[in-house]
Structure 1
Amino acid sequence: MGRFQTAGTAAHSSATIEAQISDAQYHLGGKLANILDKYGPGPRVHYHIGLFGPDRLDTTVDITLLKHRIVAAQEALIARAAQVWDADAVLHGEIVDIGTGLGGGAIYWAQHHAAIVHALTNVASHIPLIDRFAAAAGVEGRVRPILADAREIPTSLSVDAAVAMESMCYMPREDVISRLGGIVRPGGWLCIQDVFLQRPEWGTAFDAYWKTSIGTANEYVDAARRAGFALDRNEDVTAETTEFWVQSMAWAEARIMTLPPDAAERERLAQSVRWHANFFRAWLDGGIQVRILRFRKTDLGPHSHGRAPQ
């Protein structure tokens, strides 16, 4: 595969990385009520961008329809990722869902592809919710939450594939992908959907709002190569995700109208609209891309479990 045309990123110190991880953990744990309000009620609750068609949609509709569109778009992105990854053939047996959030993706893989999914989160309060949602979806025996930092996935775990739906942007990729190189079996897969920095000037604002550490696609590819993974699929879905920001802004504006005039939540949502307007520009400007990547585990070196490809 050729190199991506992406901007470079500076190396981060260990202290900076730890601060970013702490911020992300607090961000995701603290936003639980807001996530459920916008993307719930479940049992598949997602916290990532969504896939829309080419047409601009009317935003003067009821808030219930706006929410339905957003959740349907998130599901559409997972379905597209499943297509790019050839999930029927790849996401079978045991897989690990990195940064599972409330387990929406893990439940999807268990329901649609009969996988046993180790759902990894570093937010303790998410564990009982993942269990509850998996039970409601009828897959409690196949979705198995793990509370751990992604850099410390138990080395006893051995999986056919690792999946990360828009979660690696919160993590130190080099360390996490290296760890995955030690648990994904030879011939197995690393499947990533994420946002990638194209123009450096957008990085600071994106990280400030989302508490992420956004990186370039080349950074991911290089880290994967060092861990024994080779890129074999790469699909750009940026254009199809741009409408997400429009619909998300419309939802926030409609939600504000349902709140009392003195509600603190009104200002949070108003700020959200302003930030989302900036990210909409970043998508149109080519500053940030959304890609779906698939890597194959090829090495038989130190990370290998010595097993033949499944």
Structure 2
Amino acid sequence: MRAEAALADAWRDEVAGYYGEKTERILRRYGPGPRVHYHCGLVDAVPPPGAPEDLVHAQVHAAQEALLTELARAVGRFPDGGEVLDVGCGLGGGALYWAAEHRARVTAVTNVPAHVELVRGFSEAAGMSARVKPLLCDALAVPGRACFDAVVAVESACYLPRAEWFRRVRTLLKPRGVVAIADCFVGRPEAAAPFDRYWRTRIGTLSEYLSAAHAAGLELEVRDDVSSRVVGFWSLTLEMLAHERAALYGPRTPAFIARESSREHLRLQQGMMDGGLEYALLVLRRAG
């Protein structure tokens, strides 16, 4: 058991280091803020290739916010004015969204030390410092009991041991509180390894998630497959990458740079089109 705990701690440290190192690139790509998102978005109409960089950037941001809007819609009645836990908050874009659009008081949890001050600074810039509290903490160690109306996990549950995390979430939620998850799930086993390797995750199947949630006392209310709307987001990010490479290298982008990132974006698109991967919104409610 000690060896397993040590391996889990080492892996969590690796993930925190990975995102710490990516911070400047995330800011350049998705900034300047204050609502900086680092997750997928929903796109219903992909613009033709060759759009100006500022237009692509604006479309990416709008798509990311559309995902949060759709997640709130899936909840049905999001707890406006309530206590919300944002798990794996990144640079705080989602926390600011819930605070601004739903008047929530948000505890924004991250395990990346450098992100705490960034979230705090963005909250001040948005006039939301009274509503958004950044917390440096492992998602499994968030303190409290029956203190949150909603727990939100946007592309963060794939980094967590599901059974243990759902048990902790059940403890943190108020009676009838909700868990709102937006994440990618594996549809075919062969899709898992390349996904995990590139994104540093531990992707799971929907059945694994739902089994663990049910065992923890959480009931499924909504499962919404939005894969077809996420496919277009990766077309937008490919356009964004092309603009970034042109700015850095001009027309002579090193082949290995273009090949790796483009391959993974295309792999995601293909997986969501052929069923190897599914991007879904889940809403779970604490029973009782």
**What's the TM-score once normalised by structure 1's chain length?**
0.86
Q: What is aligned with 1:178?
A: 167
Q: What is aligned with 1:78?
A: 68
Cα distance in 2 for residues equivalent to 1:136 and 1:297: 35
Cα distance in 2 for residues equivalent to 1:40 and 1:267: 26
Q: Indicate if the aligned counterparts of 2:221 and 2:284 stay in contact, CA closer than 8 A.
A: yes
User: What is the 5 A alignment of 1:220-259?
Assistant: 220-259=209-248
1:84 maps to a residue whose letter is A
For residue 23 of structure 1, report the CA deviation from its aligned partner: 2.7
Q: What is aligned with 1:102?
A: 91
Cα distance in 1 for residues equivalent to 2:7 and 2:228: 32
CA, structure 1 residues 35+42, in 2 after alignment: closer, same or farther (shift >3 Å)? Answer: same
For residue 268 of structure 1, report the CA deviation from its aligned partner: 4.3
Q: Indicate if the aligned counterparts of 1:20 and 1:211 stay in contact, CA closer than 8 A.
A: no
1:215 is paired with a residue of what secondary structure? coil
1:94 maps to a residue whose letter is E
Tell me, yes or no, if structure 1 residue 51 matches structure 2 residue 42.
yes
1:234 is paired with a residue of what secondary structure? strand
C-alpha offsets along residues 229-261 of structure 1, whole Å, 9 cap, x if unaligned?
A: 101111110101101111111211121111146
Q: What is aligned with 1:42?
A: 33
Which deviates the most, 127-136 or 91-100? 91-100
Cα distance in 1 for residues equivalent to 2:258 and 2:119: 26
Cα distance in 2 for residues equivalent to 1:113 and 1:176: 25
**What's the TM-score once normalised by structure 2's chain length?**
0.92
1:208 maps to a residue whose letter is R
Tell me, yes or no, if structure 1 residue 217 matches structure 2 residue 206.
yes
Q: How many residues align?
A: 285
For residue 155 of structure 1, report the CA deviation from its aligned partner: 3.0
For residue 18 of structure 1, report the CA deviation from its aligned partner: 3.8
Q: Indicate if the aligned counterparts of 1:253 and 1:270 stay in contact, CA closer than 8 A.
A: no
Cα distance in 1 for residues equivalent to 2:143 and 2:118: 22
Q: Indicate if the aligned counterparts of 1:259 and 1:266 stay in contact, CA closer than 8 A.
A: no
Cα distance in 2 for residues equivalent to 1:198 and 1:92: 36
Q: 2:55 aligns with which of 62, 65, 74?
A: 65
Where structure 1 has 5 or more consecutive residues not aligned to the other structure, the ranges are 1-12, 300-310
Tell me, yes or no, if structure 1 residue 31 matches structure 2 residue 33.
no
User: What is the 5 A alignment of 1:274-285?
Assistant: 274-285=263-274
Displacement over 3 Å in runs of 4+:
13-20, 260-270
2:224 maps to a residue whose letter is E
1:149 maps to a residue whose letter is D
Q: Indicate if the aligned counterparts of 2:46 and 2:236 stay in contact, CA closer than 8 A.
A: no
CA, structure 1 residues 270+253, in 2 after alignment: closer, same or farther (shift >3 Å)? Answer: farther
Q: CA RMSD in A?
A: 2.1
CA, structure 1 residues 230+204, in 2 after alignment: closer, same or farther (shift >3 Å)? Answer: same
Q: Indicate if the aligned counterparts of 2:234 and 2:265 stay in contact, CA closer than 8 A.
A: yes
Q: Indicate if the aligned counterparts of 2:156 and 2:183 stay in contact, CA closer than 8 A.
A: yes
